[in-house]
Amino acid sequence: MCFEPTCLNFIGATRVSLPRFIADIPSDIPILIAGPTASGKSSLALSIAHKKGGHILNADALQVYENWRVLTARPNLEEETLVPHSLYGHVDGTKYYSVGGWLRDIQPHLGNEHRPIIVGGTGLYFKALTSGLAQIPPTPPLVREKATEKLNTEGLEALIADLDHATQIRLDLQNPMRVQRAWEVFASTRRSIAQWQDETQPPLLELGNCSTILFDVSKDWLNNRINKRFDKMLTSGALEEAQNNSKNWNQNVPSSKAIGAKELVSYLAGDLTFDEAKERATIATHQFAKRQRTWFRSNMKNWRSVDPRKL
């Protein structure tokens, strides 16, 4: 069985049989599906929702933005019509969107008549959902501008150097968005994000009351899929999507962090050849997937680990 966009399409997702352990999940139990990019999470969620019922809720920090569908691998329009989908493409591409905003947006969907099937690759969303999130005040725009300027002129290490040790050991220091967020929190509240996290509110979902699925895959298998999927994105309109975004391109807005966006826009501007843009975007995706796999394995040890090749 193969849960991936290249071999499980809109029609195919309605025909495959679900693995026994998934088919036996009671209809009132929320299902959480996490995994690295290109591992086949969305196709599995679609199959479960169609066969067992449910409302698919996005837990990917880049798929929330309206201006990138193809490049962030959001479900297509046919898939969104087949079963209910929410929290995809609902945020303006120029707006900052936080974990707290996602929790506020997902909360109304957790108590409706449809079983939630929450799927995505942003581990911090799942952690906040099942462990709680500190109620940190919004970051003032001037602080965000200062942080962005510091990142662009002095680099990521300059932001990291200003963080306390407790924050540094909890944070993914290779993730610029998370590091900048931590820097902004301290700059605006004079308290570290670690201190705020120690005062977390109760979670919206208890992990023990959910069925969890974590796609654990090998590096070579995943990289091969990433290569094929990026080629598919290019033939499905990713370049045209980048053209639309290049008209008002701003590398500092959160949606510009979509993997491959910077490279395709650089190609359109004449700064890279097509082959260079494609190679750099693919490498960036490999690196992103590696960070995801590392984070998942460190923070989701209590989740059910599944090899999608054996489903």
CATH of the domain at 257: 1.10.287.890
Check whether residue 73 and residue 23 sit in a common domain.
yes
CA-to-CA distance for 128 and 26, rounded, in angstroms?
Answer: 24
Q: What is the CATH number of the domain that holds 190?
A: 1.10.20
Alpha carbons within 13 A on the beta-carbon side of 232: 15
Check whether residue 211 and residue 179 sit in a common domain.
no
Q: Do the domain assignments include residue 4? A: no
Query: What's the gap between Cα 225 and its chain centre?
Result: 17
Check whether residue 96 and residue 189 sit in a common domain.
no
The yes-or-no verdict on residue 17 having pLDDT over 80 is no
The yes-or-no verdict on residue 3 having pLDDT over 90 is no
- In three state form, how does the secondary structure of 170-202 look? HCCCCCHHHHHHHHHHHHHHCCCHHHHHCCCCC
Tally of structural domains, the chain: 3
Check whether residue 111 and residue 158 sit in a common domain.
no
Q: Do the domain assignments include residue 153? A: yes
Check whether residue 80 and residue 213 sit in a common domain.
yes
pLDDT in tens, 222-270: 999 999 999 999 999 999 999 999 999 999 899 999 999 999 999 999 9
Overall average pLDDT of the 27-50 stretch: 96
pLDDT at 275: 97
Residue 155 belongs to domain spanning: 141-197
Check whether residue 21 and residue 127 sit in a common domain.
yes
E-assigned strands of the chain? 31-34, 55-58, 85-86, 116-120, 211-215, 305-306
Check whether residue 93 and residue 212 sit in a common domain.
yes
pTM value is 0.81
Q: What is the CATH number of the domain that holds 31?
A: 3.40.50.300
Check whether residue 191 and residue 266 sit in a common domain.
no
Q: Do the domain assignments include residue 3? A: no
Check whether residue 158 and residue 304 sit in a common domain.
no
Q: Do the domain assignments include residue 67? A: yes
Q: Show Cβ contacts of residue 133 under 8 Å, excluding neighbours closer than 6 positions.
A: 99, 100, 103, 200, 201
How many C-beta neighbours within 10 Å does residue 15 have?
Answer: 10
Inter-residue contact 36 to 300 (CB < 8 Å): no
Inter-residue contact 211 to 303 (CB < 8 Å): no
Reported confidence tier of residue 16, pLDDT bands at 50, 70, 90 = low
The yes-or-no verdict on residue 12 having pLDDT over 80 is no
Check whether residue 162 and residue 173 sit in a common domain.
yes
Overall average pLDDT of the 207-231 stretch: 96
CA-to-CA distance for 259 and 280, rounded, in angstroms?
Answer: 10
Q: Do the domain assignments include residue 103? A: yes
Q: Do the domain assignments include residue 248? A: yes
Check whether residue 92 and residue 116 sit in a common domain.
yes
Q: Do the domain assignments include residue 161? A: yes
Inter-residue contact 89 to 98 (CB < 8 Å): no
CA-to-CA distance for 16 and 8, rounded, in angstroms?
Answer: 9
Check whether residue 124 and residue 17 sit in a common domain.
yes
